[in-house]
Amino acid sequence: MTQLSEQEIIRREKLQELEKLGINPYPAEKYPVNNTAANIKALYTEETKDQFQDICLAGRIMAVRDMGKAAFVKLQDHTTQMQLYIRRDDICNGDDKTMFDVVFKKLLDLGDIIGVKGYAFITKTGELSIHVTKLDVLAKSIRPLPVVREKEGEVFDAVTDPEFKYRQRYVDLIVNPQVKEVFIKRTRIMQTIRDFYNDLGYLEVETPILQPIPGGATARPFTTHHNALDIPLYMRIANELYLKRLIVGGFEGVYEFAKDFRNEGMDRTHNPEFTVMEMYAAYKDYEWMMDTTETLLEKIAIALHGTTEVTVGEKVINFKAPFRRVTMYEAILEHTGIDVSNMDEDQLRATCVQLGIYVKPSMGKGKLIDEIFGEKCEHHYVQPTFITDYPVEMSPLTKKHRSKPGLVERFELMVNGKELANAYSELNDPIDQRARFEDQVKLMERGDDEAMYIDYDFLRALEYGMPPTSGIGIGIDRLTMIMTNQPSIQDVLFFPQMKPEKTA
């Protein structure tokens, strides 16, 4: 059993004292909140003060300044903090001073959730406050909050320990309320994307998370077992093949915000559970998709910041369209001085050795080229740049290039040295697609545990005919990192994956 701290024991004793006084510390009734701290601060003036004479607020006690028969309290609701002025005679009935002298002064603590009724006024020091006429206990906190001190706008003792912040995000949000802004902006990013595609007439859809075949990407899946059907199932690594089935079925354009899962490493830009927005549009190609994507990202930047320029660390990234476009082979030549465009697998392997890049025997031609680009080129592309025209071996779901043999019509969008989006002119030739899947099986037999499985149902769907289509996947977590200037993916996920918590 967990050992209680002295503070936790004291708070539990206060809980019992409240109950003895006939006060339910966790009442069931709804509380008639009719305003917010932010709204009052934004709208209160000498001319509008009559509108703020019957206020009901609820929130958490964050600070108390005791003045004997009165006190100033910092109340934090879901919008911001508001100062309360609580005077004994105003919240007590006649000679019974229990509510102030006992409940407020002795039995309430920082972190407790209270409701107050009163009216807004300006104190002698010029601070907008609520003069409290009634106080109600709404939830007793039996675990103390970390203490965060603030003086003249400077914060001391802020909770910055990642182990604490990510594991107890609920406390991080309480004591570091500015963290909420990251997640509010994340929602605005997703809403901007929705509005953009909805305006194009495309439909938001949902596809399976548990799949019989982990298709649509090259990644190691999580596996599980369905007892009733007695079959293995896989957590979705991508939703691509299901969305393309919907294009076969006759939709002009579909998109989905998908939770994907990949049983791979974790670092500052990777979490095993992540969010991707994938969109597919019929009768379009990757050139159209580049134009559309740069327009979308420009809109997102302006929606969040009022400008196309976004500060990321010490860099300023400009999302003003159009973005630079560089082919994969041009990028490698530019940053290594080596032309790999006509190399076979053995030559590529030797080039990797020459460049000091570790490679596995299971890696085929596509993986070797990908390793060279990832190690020697990717980090150079800070400003938004489309890397285009990939080797066919790297892209088993992509249409062959219309004019460049051996390549496919694919691009990846690089921003701040990392991939942000991946898009194709989708392969809709079922015979070619079957051959590409079979090549993936050969890689799997060589030990490549990220090679694709053959999805026979998807091949069957293509055989009915899929129109020329372009598709894209945009990493929502990485996009949020960039747009909110956060250094780690854990900072844009409410509850990132972590090692099991150590217990005493």
Summarised one tens digit per residue, pLDDT across range 9-63 is 999 999 999 999 999 999 999 999 999 999 999 999 999 999 999 999 999 999 9
pLDDT in tens, 92-135: 988 899 999 999 999 999 999 999 999 999 999 999 999 999 99
What DSSP state is assigned to residue 96? B
Please state, in angstroms and as integers, the Cα–Cα distance from residue 443 to each residue in 15, 112, 361, 372, following that order: 64, 59, 11, 19
- Select from 226, 217, 140 the least CA-distant residue to 440: 217
Output the CA angle 32-38-41, nearest 5 degrees: 110
Q: What are phi and psi of 195, to 5 degrees?
A: -60, -40
Q: Is the pLDDT of residue 502 over 80?
A: no
Coil, strand or helix at 23: coil
Distance (Å, whole) CA 213 – CA 459? 13
Does the annotation list 419 as a binding residue?
A: yes
**Residue 83 structure tokens:** 């100062």
Distance (Å, whole) CA 77 – CA 55? 14
Domains annotated for the chain, with CATH where assigned, are 6-145 (2.40.50.140), 180-323+383-492 (3.30.930.10)
Strands 154-156, 149-151: parallel, antiparallel or unpaired by DSSP?
antiparallel
Above pLDDT 90, what percent of the chain? 83
Q: What are phi and psi of 312, to 5 degrees?
A: -130, 105
Above pLDDT 70, what percent of the chain? 97
Residues ≥6 apart with Cβ < 8 Å to 303? 188, 189, 192
Distance (Å, whole) CA 460 – CA 430? 8
Rounded mean pLDDT of 71-81?
97
Does the annotation list 412 as a binding residue?
A: yes
Residue type, 4: L
Distance (Å, whole) CA 495 – CA 410? 33
pLDDT in tens, 439-449: 888 878 887 77
E strand intervals along 230-367: 231-235, 253-261, 273-282, 309-312, 315-318, 324-327
